[in-house]
Amino acid sequence: MDKFGHIDTWVFDLDNTLYDSTTGVFNRIGDRMTLYVAEHLKLPLPEASALRKHYWEKYGTTLYGLMHEHKVDPDKFLAHAHDIDISDIPRCDIIREHLAHLPGRKIIFTNSSRDFATRMIKHLGIDHHFEGMFTIEDAGYLPKPRPDPYHAIASKFRFDPKKAAMFDDMEVNLKTAAEVGMTTVWIHGDNNNPDDHALPHLHHKTEKLADWLKATTKPPQHPVKGK
Ligand SMILES: [Mg+2]
């Protein structure tokens, strides 16, 4: 915990950070987005899928590309994209328990919608840990890694980025975090070789958030009885 002794605010990405990338939730949302693009722009599914990926790479989110290039209504798109069943997503007991041992304020910072983020953290049983969330609506639909929402979240929740740590599975999101002064923890998951990513803005790395929490936080000490 020494390396994080100066931290008083913990900022968490949602998707593939607070729940595991292996759950496939992101793919379900992606499929719903592709369907929306296909219906809205009257494209065959493969073309809609390719266009969605293109916008994701070019603009940071499919939504921003659709808004910018096709004047799509963001709230309608978000409601359609996140209309997925999450009832089978497993809860992580380690995250549920160990978040409580992390001293300081906890805030969610996500490119997902408020409705989806609220539904997901309730399902995961971790909603009570968070003081609040900053969602894509709060960001005026300008996604991470653009700098605007990083300044906006710090201003809204009145924290000093130099005393904040941010967890995210996308290293590019942590580049902006580091640029505004935050300490970063990269959730690299199964599919990355973290040693191939010796980037200066990735201050700390862990495969899963649960691993980091387990290694870094300690439960409150209780007196040992009977010895
Ligand atoms: Mg993520």
147-177, pLDDT tens digit by residue? 999 999 999 999 999 999 999 999 999 999 9
Q: Mind listing the domains of the chain with CATH numbers?
A: 2-20+91-216 (3.40.50.1000), 25-81 (1.10.150.450)
Tell me the C-alpha distance between 5 and 111, whole Å: 28
SS (H, E, C) 111-156: CCCHHHHHHHHHHHCCHHHCCEEECCCCCCCCCCCCHHHHHHHHHH
Residues bordering ligand 1, an ion, CB closer than 5 Å: 13, 15-16, 169
Does residue 131 have a pLDDT over 60? yes
Tell me: the pLDDT tens digits for 132-148?
Answer: 999 999 999 999 999 99
pTM over 0.75? The answer is yes
In this predicted structure, the answer to whether residue 48 has a pLDDT above a threshold of 70 is yes
Q: What is the whole-number distance in angstroms between the Cα of residue 24 and the centre of ligand 1?
A: 12
Question: Is the pLDDT assigned to residue 8 strictly greater than 50?
Answer: yes
Q: What is the pLDDT of residue 212?
A: 96
- Model confidence at 23, pLDDT cuts 50, 70, 90, reads confident
Packing angle, helices 25-41 and 62-70, rounded to 10: 10
